[in-house]
Copies of this chain bind each other. A is one copy, B any other.
Amino acid sequence: MPTSTGNPKRTAKRRTTKTSPNTPKAPPSLTYADSGVDIDAGDRFVDAIMGLMRRTHGPRVLANDGGFAGLFRLDFNEKLFKRNYKEPVLVASTDGVGTKLKLARDMDTFDTVGQDLVAMCVNDLIVEAAEPLFFLDYLAIPKVEHQMLVDLVKGVAEGCRIAGCSLLGGETAELPGIYPPGEFDMAGFAVGVVELRKATSGMKVEPGDVVLGLASSGIHSNGYSLVRRVVEHARLDLHAVYPELDPDQTLGRVLLTPTRIYAPSITKLLRGYKVKRVVSGMAHITGGGLAGNLERVLHPGVDAVLDRKAWPVPPVFTFLKKHGNIRGPEMDKVFNMGIGYCVVVRPAFADAVADKLARLGERVTRIGMIRKGEGRVLFRS
């Protein structure tokens, strides 16, 4: 094991960097401490989250008490966890959560957006058929607020638990000069691995392929600037219950529902099809909606034709459309409208794949198919 200093404050794979507030004073002798830095608060936070992080670590994570970088074994030769790769290709992605963070602040609820952060990164990894391995996060705040930070990391840790990856480390930057009071940001970074042969298999969607849609949990992480404008414009109350939306949850809670993480089911699905060429493409539905994202699995010779009536639009979208008086095409462009992830399958396997995904806990619907065309996503109804 690498050198341990024995000082618990130094054992964290998370660093807290601190800096001064916007308006400098002018004392006779300038010190860093005048800048409102609370080193103890930072250390207390680190201690509080160590347990959260360690619970996401499997046997592949090596202890690294002295350093700031996290260590993760790629191959593991124990019989129980044999997951060796002949020719491993690392897959990496980064993303943020965006304006949904402001909603978390509005709701004073910080323990769910960490899951959104993991979802946004990991859902992009699995599109490449990669197995998620580990995750790191960067949190930037104007001031260390202990409970808020612990809740943010709780959400990230929960997301990692669901996704089956290790929360290896992170950075918390206290930057009052950049972030006004109340604002904050989060960036996530996920790494996965895929066998070279799979990464370069050259799978292409073909006419006749079936488009399966996996239900979203709600709005997920895109479109929140519009969401917040609807709430303001229509004078909606985040803490009220609107029965036509959801009789059991406040509006705010519905809007804050974390992004669904598709990793466990997709990873298991793909393990069952190592040899057969069954899944010809996948898409994570984010900004740009179904059309904007499904377009990426197409090539110039094919179209995807979707049937809107094939899946139920969740109440939250109907609610937003009504209260914001938002036109249909605008809704389609901004929101996922109920489908968070797409799997394109060879027709002979469509039923089997849909069935397997359903047994793995997804709500799956055939939402359309591929036909000869020009690289467009079209709606039949």
Question: A residues within 8 Å of B by Cβ?
Answer: 1-7, 10, 15, 17-20, 24, 26, 28-32, 35, 62, 64, 66-75, 77, 85, 87-96, 98-99, 101-102, 124-125, 127-128, 130, 133-134, 136-138, 140, 168-171, 173, 175, 177-180, 183-185, 187, 189, 191-194, 196, 199-200, 202-205, 222-226, 228-230, 232-233, 281, 284, 287, 295-300, 324-327, 330, 333-334, 375
Contact = CB atoms under 8 A, between A and B. Distances in A.
Contacts of A137: 94
A273 B30 CA distance: 45
A91 B90 CA distance: 12
B199 A281 contact: no
A4 B226 CA distance: 31
Indicate how many identical chains form the complex. 2
Given A74-B89, A92-B136, A124 B67 contact: yes
A32 B227 CA distance: 10
A202 B229 CA distance: 56
B168 A92 contact: yes
A129 to B, nearest CB: 9
Given A189-B189, A224-B19, A296-B67, A72 B98 contact: no
B93 A169 contact: yes
Given A1-B202, A94-B189, A296 B72 contact: no
Contacts of A1: 200, 202
Contact of A20 (B185, B222, B226): B226
19 contacts: A2-B203, A3-B299, A4-B299, A5-B296, A6-B375, A7-B295, A20-B99, A24-B228, A24-B229, A29-B326, A31-B226, A35-B229, A67-B127, A68-B127, A74-B74, A96-B140, A99-B177, A177-B228, A178-B183
Nearest to A200: B1
Contact of A71 (B91, B296, B300): B91
A24 B233 contact: yes
B138 A187 contact: yes
A202 B69 contact: no
Nearest to A334: B32
A178 B185 contact: yes
Given A128-B71, A334-B32, A134 B229 contact: no
B99 A19 contact: yes
